[in-house]
Amino acid sequence: METPVAGISTILCPLGIIIIGASDKGLRYISISKDGSIPPVGENKHSAEAKRQLSEYFDRKRDTFDVALDLEGYTAFQQRVWQKLTEIPFGKTISYANLATTLGDSKCIRAAAAANGKNPIPVIIPCHRVIGSDGSLTGFALGLDVKQFLLTLENDARFGTKQAVMQF
């Protein structure tokens, strides 16, 4: 049974309206309103804290997040991938191949990429920091323009042009 959302916050940022959903345990999802509509807002402590930290991130005053996550209902593999994503330093990137290697199986590239694409809490779980081995921007559920924006926000000098892949 899926954990119900108990709190919803919104934030207006350069990407548009971000919707933050949280259960009583932690964050459940982050999405961008495509049509400008927003659901009824009723914050809880987790959605309000994520809103505060995301505001600081978009104001370039925060480079790490410390919010409770509620990933109930997702597979152990997906959660393992998302944990690895949180270890990618701010302003840095890794390739999908490197992500698979850090998971202990260089052959699980497609599975790791699929889990990356199902990340329900983008930005806070920084799936945007995973790029192609050749430095190209590939696969981002919120759109490649959003991925480019986030990478540039984190490191304009480096990501304002072609991406470079780091190993960690």
Q: Which two tokens stand for residue 87?
A: 């270890």
Tell me which amino acid residue 139 is.
G
Is-catalytic flag, 13? no
Q: Using CA atoms, how far apart are residues 115 and 66, in angstroms rounded to an integer?
A: 22
Cα dihedral 11, 40, 45, 125 sign: negative
Q: In terms of C-beta density within 10 A (0-12 exposed, 13-18 middle, 19 or more buried), how is residue 124 classed?
A: buried
Residues 6+ apart with CB under 8 A from 152: 159, 160
Indicate which residue of 11, 124, 127, 150 is catalytic: 127
Positions marked catalytic: 127
